[in-house]
């Protein structure tokens, strides 16, 4: 028992050090759009994410996940504009940043082990609610970026928004925030101050 406790403590300290130092695994991803067929193989080679251009009677491209071995497919939904596809390092899930409109990006989370995914926008709603609670005004633009992975189930994301305050002629404000997500519990595990995003994680993207 004492040895198990010691191992647990060491593991927790190690994870805390990763959070503190900003050490991240690379966020490998591909870009997809409505004009090109996006294809992305999982890191373990067992899954393939791909897109089909609209067939007759369809408005948007469709997104699919298939196994490499028997080619069995699962429909994931439509792509409204452009997007970025990110695989978890252990291939157990993928994240789609869907540019739902020019001003809005949505995070969709899919698990490869499930025949069907439930609320694919659950994490997106939690992130959005958390971020919007700190904004006092009307949002004009909302964007997400995945900076990397602390481990297989903890991506680090950056959120940026442009907004205007109500009943004022002041120019639009830009605000930035960051979060560590827990994909196992589908929750926000830690908030990252904007300054730490820059100094620890090298996030220097600016909204224009």
Task: Quote the pLDDT of residue 18.
Answer: 45
List the strands of the sheet with 62-67, edge to edge. 39-41, 47-52, 62-67, 73-78
pLDDT at site 46: 92
- The whole-number pLDDT of residue 151 equals 92
* Beta strand spans in 102-184 (E): 104-111, 138-151, 154-164, 173-182
Give residues with Cβ within 8 angstroms of 60, minimum separation 6.
34, 54, 78, 79, 80
Cut 0.85: pTM above it: no
Residues paired with residue 155 on neighbouring β-strands, in sequence order: 149
Q: What is the pLDDT of residues 5-28, one digit of tens each?
A: 554 545 454 445 444 445 567 766
Mean pLDDT of all residues in 50-61:
76
Question: Domain map of the chain by residue range?
Answer: 2-199
pLDDT of 142 > 50? The answer is: yes
pLDDT score of 49 more than 80: yes
- Using the predicted structure, report yes or no on whether residue 131 has a pLDDT greater than 80: yes
pLDDT at position 198: 85
What is the 3-state composition of the chain as percent helix, strand, coil, each rounded to the nearest 5? 20, 45, 40
Considering the chain, what is the average pLDDT of its residues? 80
């Amino acid at each position: 028992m004492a040895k198990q406790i010691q191992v647990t403590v060491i593991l927790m300290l190690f994870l805390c050090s990763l959070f503190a130092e900003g050490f991240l695994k690379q966020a490998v991803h591909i870009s997809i759009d409505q004009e090109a067929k996006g294809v992305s193989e999982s890191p373990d080679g067992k899954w393939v994410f791909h897109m089909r251009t609209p067939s007759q009677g369809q408005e948007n491209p469709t997104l699919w996940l298939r196994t490499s071995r028997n080619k069995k497919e699962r429909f994931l939904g439509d792509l409204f504009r452009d997007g970025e596809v990110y695989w978890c390092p252990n291939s157990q899930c993928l994240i789609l940043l869907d540019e739902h409109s020019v001003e809005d990006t949505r995070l969709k989370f899919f698990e490869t082990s499930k025949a069907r995914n439930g609320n694919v926008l659950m994490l997106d709603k939690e992130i959005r609610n958390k971020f919007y609670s700190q904004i006092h005004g009307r949002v004009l633009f909302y964007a997400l970026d995945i900076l990397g992975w602390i481990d297989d189930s903890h991506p680090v994301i950056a959120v940026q928004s442009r907004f205007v305050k109500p009943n004022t002629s002041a120019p639009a404000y830009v605000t930035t925030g960051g979060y560590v997500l827990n994909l196992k519990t589908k929750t926000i595990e830690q908030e990252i101050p904007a300054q730490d995003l820059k100094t620890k994680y090298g996030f220097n993207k600016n909204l224009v």
